[in-house]
Homo-oligomer: A and B are copies of this chain.
């Protein structure tokens, strides 16, 4: 019989969802209709789409970072179980949802009467995978059957703290958005840039 409860197929499925969600981001950037080009040249249209390119790049990098982190975390996992699968499904549901708030951000961030809502919705949507990811980690460290090596408690504490802070910052970005859209989106971008830095994680074995 095949290795039961191995994480292999779970990882393959997750990678599929990551890959599709990240690639679907582009369909929010529409080829202009002839109607769209009545009052502007194609060149102007392409230029005016910059908020969409910004939303595309920001969201692509964020999904890419989640993919890399998911990849990193699953190195430590050898088994899965029903609850763990479900937590992963909830996490993926939050990832697969991102093209929608990303589309709204790209469409409405530069329209003054909608900026705040667009930014707040995007910040809110960014909280969801952060929470899902955190729950996956918390569940895993409390279920010895999931983890495949003895992780040092220092490593566990370090990652837990890091993910908790990350969640907190996403929530802060969401709350800030009610007061200042520009501050909120700046924080979102800053968070993304921080995650692009190589992290100095402590050794995970004792």
Contact = CB atoms under 8 A, between A and B. Distances in A.
B41 A97 contact: no
A9 interface: yes
Given A22-B92, A42-B114, 17 more contacts: A1-B78, A9-B11, A12-B15, A16-B16, A16-B18, A16-B23, A17-B19, A26-B96, A29-B100, A41-B117, A42-B117, A42-B118, A43-B117, A56-B93, A60-B96, A61-B93, A83-B198
Contacts of A81: 198
A81 B68 CA distance: 10
Interface residues of A, number: 68
Interface of A: 1-2, 4, 9-13, 15-29, 31-32, 37, 41-43, 46, 56-57, 60-61, 64, 67-68, 71, 74-76, 78, 81-83, 85-86, 89, 92-93, 96-97, 99-100, 103-104, 107-108, 113-114, 117-118, 121, 148-149, 196, 198-199
